[in-house]
């Protein structure tokens, strides 16, 4: 485990420095559809080359490349640039998400937020930590203790495959019942902030596995829950078989609605 963990942190740092060097150099986007840039592809190439060199028998799943091998019990799940829209709009809320799953279960997760100067790390059964990238100082991550939905700060995203009409339906179920709704634009950071107690729940319908593979472990190890929209705890091996995944990440005490429709 230590070998994987050390490797993943070094890899996240390398990609983070690469993206920092490129930040602000992108032309402003046309915003006319799905965004995939040379920055995503370069980060993806770096990550794949490092993993395949170090662990040639492991499987990989990345946003930009898809599956590479499917026959190993070890699976690296990667989003090389989570929050591309933020990145090219010179918004600091972007991240790199690196997860290692074994036999269908999250084993470790690293979320690198370069411009925030933070790294969120989690190892199954060992806890979750926020790391100051510059100093290396670690702080134990812990979800909030909020119980009342009316006082809760909720982060939401309408995902990749949810129409605006259905997104409005989701928001309308929550807007009058919570203290505030927020949308950050990077699932890695959003899950990281739930684990750090900066918000009380995160609702994301229609996600892909690479969006959440590292963050779900971070939330769990910080004392939270990962559920579907019926507030049932997720069976993680099922996620590997699904194209679109609905999740609710929250502290374990928050009294959420029994079901969220969209």
For residues 87 and 158, membership in a common domain is answered with: no
- Nearest Cα residue to 204 out of 68, 36, 82: 82
User: Domain range holding 68?
Assistant: 2-140
For residues 6 and 128, membership in a common domain is answered with: yes
| CATH number of the domain where residue 203 is located | 3.40.190.80
For residues 81 and 173, membership in a common domain is answered with: no
Angle, CA 218 vertex, CA 214 and CA 222 arms, to 5°: 175
Q: How do the residues of the chain divide into helix, strand and coil, expressed in percent and rounded to 5? A: 30, 30, 40
Instruction: Give the C-alpha separation, 125 to 259, whole Å.
Output: 29
Grade residue 159 by pLDDT with cuts at 50, 70 and 90: low
Q: Within a domain: residue 262?
A: no
Residues 6+ apart with CB under 8 A from 68: 48, 52, 59, 60, 61, 62
pLDDT tens digit sequence for 110-134: 999 999 999 999 999 999 999 999 9
Which of 113, 140, 167 finishes a domain? Answer: 140
Residues 6+ apart with CB under 8 A from 255: 147, 148, 149
Max CA distance (Å), the chain: 51
Which of 140, 160, 178 finishes a domain? Answer: 140
Given a contact cutoff of 8 angstroms between Cβ atoms, the answer to whether 107 and 118 are in contact is no
Half-sphere exposure of 25 (CA within 13 A, CB side): 9
For residues 57 and 159, membership in a common domain is answered with: no
For residues 119 and 246, membership in a common domain is answered with: no
pLDDT tens digit sequence for 212-255: 999 999 999 999 999 999 999 999 999 998 988 999 999 999 99
For residues 8 and 136, membership in a common domain is answered with: yes
pLDDT tens digit sequence for 78-96: 999 999 989 999 999 999 9
| CATH number of the domain where residue 51 is located | 3.30.540.10
Q: Within a domain: residue 72?
A: yes
Which of 140, 168, 192 finishes a domain? Answer: 140
Q: Which residues pair with 68 in a beta bridge?
A: 60
Domain count, the chain: 2
């Amino acid at each position: 485990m230590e070998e994987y963990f050390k490797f993943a942190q070094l890899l996240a740092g390398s990609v983070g420095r690469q993206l920092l060097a490129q930040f602000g150099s992108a032309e402003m986007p046309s915003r006319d559809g799905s965004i995939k840039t040379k920055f995503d592809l370069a980060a993806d190439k770096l990550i794949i080359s490092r993993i395949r060199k170090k662990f040639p028998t492991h499987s990989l799943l990345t946003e930009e490349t898809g599956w590479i091998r499917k026959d190993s019990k070890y699976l690296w799940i990667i989003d090389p640039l989570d929050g591309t829209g933020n990145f090219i709009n010179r918004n600091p809320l972007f991240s790199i998400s690196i997860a290692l799953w074994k036999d269908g279960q999250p084993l470790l997760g690293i979320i690198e937020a370069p411009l925030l100067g933070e790294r969120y790390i989690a190892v199954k059964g060992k806890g979750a930590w926020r790391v100051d990238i510059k100093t290396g100082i670690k702080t134990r991550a812990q979800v909030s203790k909020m119980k009342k939905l009316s006082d809760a700060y909720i982060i939401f995203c309408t995902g990749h495959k949810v129409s605006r009409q259905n997104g409005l339906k989701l928001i309308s179920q929550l807007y009058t019942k919570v203290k505030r709704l927020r949308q950050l634009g990077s699932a890695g950071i959003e899950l990281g902030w739930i684990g750090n107690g900066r918000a009380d729940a995160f609702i994301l319908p229609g996600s892909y596995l690479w969006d959440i593979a590292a963050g779900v472990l971070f939330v769990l190890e910080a004392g939270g829950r990962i559920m579907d929209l019926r507030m049932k705890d997720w069976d993680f091996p099922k996620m590997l078989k699904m194209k679109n995944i609905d999740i609710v990440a929250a502290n374990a005490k928050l009294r959420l609605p029994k079901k969220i429709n969209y």
